Amino acid sequence: MLDISDIERILSSLEKRFSFVSEPEVSIEANPETVDRKKLLQLKSLGINRLSLGVQSLNQNELILLGRTHDVKKAKEALWLVSDCYENFSVDLIYGIPGQDTLSVETTLNTVLKVKPPHISAYELTVEEGTHLHQQIKNHILKLPEEEKVEEMYWCIVNVLRSQGYEHYEISNYATPGGQCRHNLNYWLRGEYIGFGASASSLISNRRTRNVADVHRYIKIIKTEGKATAEKIELHEKDIREEEIMLGLRTSRGIDISRIPNNTLINNLQKQGLIKINNDRIVLTDRGMLLSNRIILELIKDN
Is 105 found in the same domain as 89?
yes
Is 57 found in the same domain as 175?
yes
In the listed set 235, 250, 265, which residue is the last one of a domain according to the structure? 235
Is 295 found in the same domain as 193?
no
Please determine, for residue 300, whether its predicted confidence score (pLDDT) is greater than 80: yes
Is 209 found in the same domain as 63?
no
Is 152 found in the same domain as 45?
yes
User: Tens of pLDDT along 247-261?
Assistant: 999 999 999 998 888
Is 222 found in the same domain as 122?
no
Is 113 found in the same domain as 173?
yes
| pLDDT confidence of residue 262 | 84
Q: Domain holding 90: CATH number?
A: 3.30.750.200
User: Tens of pLDDT along 4-50?
Assistant: 999 999 999 999 999 999 999 999 999 999 999 999 999 999 999 99
CA distance 271 to 74: 47
**Residue type present at position 167:** E
Q: Which helix (H) or strand (E) holds 277?
A: strand 275-278
In the listed set 159, 180, 201, which residue is the last one of a domain according to the structure? 180
Is 216 found in the same domain as 94?
no
Is 273 found in the same domain as 163?
no
- Burial string for 69-98 (b: 16+ CB within 10 Å, else e) reads ebebebbbebbebbbebbebbbbbbbbbbb
Is 131 found in the same domain as 8?
yes
Number of domains in the chain: 3
User: Tens of pLDDT along 103-160?
Assistant: 999 999 999 999 999 999 999 999 988 888 999 999 999 999 999 999 999 999 999 9
Is 90 found in the same domain as 46?
yes
Segments forming the whole domain that contains residue 201: 189-235
Is 260 found in the same domain as 197?
no
Q: Which helix (H) or strand (E) holds 278?
A: strand 275-278
Q: What is the mean pLDDT of residues 185-196?
A: 94
